[in-house]
Amino acid sequence: MVAPMGTVMMTVELEPGAADLPHAAERLGVDLQVLDAEFGLVPIDPDQHLYTVLAEEEAVAGADARPGVSGPFSDPPIRPFGPPER
């Protein structure tokens, strides 16, 4: 299965004070320009210091082997549940 548009989410754990996109790229072991700057670094669980970024799937292949990194996660299309269609 190929994620839509080749884009995936990656989750990174970052220390307080180092929660920015450059540190996320460093944690992932990729160049900063690989990450979607417009999407940015989005906190998903601030209490656990967990953030997510968007990247091309190929560019982050194998990054999940690094500490504090998990992914790639799918970024599927979402649709409204109405009005229902036949």
Partner 1 sequence: MRVLIQLRSSHQVRAALAANEPVPAAATAAEALMSAGLVLDQSFEPVELPSPRLDAEDDGRVLAMAAPLDFSEPATTVVRGVIPDDEGAQAVLAAAGANPAVLGVFADPVVERCLTCIGDPPVGTHKDVARLLGVGKLTSAGLTGQGVHLAIVDSGINVAHLRDRDQAAKLDAAKSWTPRGVSSGPGRHMVDHGTMCAFDAGIAAPKATFLDHAVLLSQQGGPTPMAGLLSDAVRSYAKLRTVLDAMPASRRALVVSNSWGMFDPAWDFPVGHPGNYSNNPRHPFNVIVASLEAAGADILFAAGNCGRDCEDGRCNFRRRPICGANSHGRVLSVAGIDTKRKRVGYSSQGPGRLAAAKPDLATYTHFKGSEVYAPDPDGGTSAACPVLAGVVAAVRTKYRANRLPPASLRSLLCKTADDLGRMGFDHDHGWGTVDTTALLAALARVPVARGGGSRRRPS
- Could you say whether residue 67 binds partner 1 (CB under 8 A)? no
Q: In terms of CB distance, is 25 or 60 closer to partner 1?
A: 60
Tell me which residues in 19-48 interact with partner 1 (CB under 8 A).
38-39, 42-48
Rounded to an integer, what distance in angstroms lies between the CA atom of residue 33 and that of residue 18?
Answer: 18
Rounded to an integer, what distance in angstroms lies between the CA atom of residue 38 and that of residue 60?
Answer: 18
- State whether the Cα torsion 12-15-20-26 is positive or negative: negative
Residues that bind partner 1 (CB under 8 A): 1, 3-5, 7-9, 11, 38-39, 42-48, 50, 52, 54, 64, 70-86
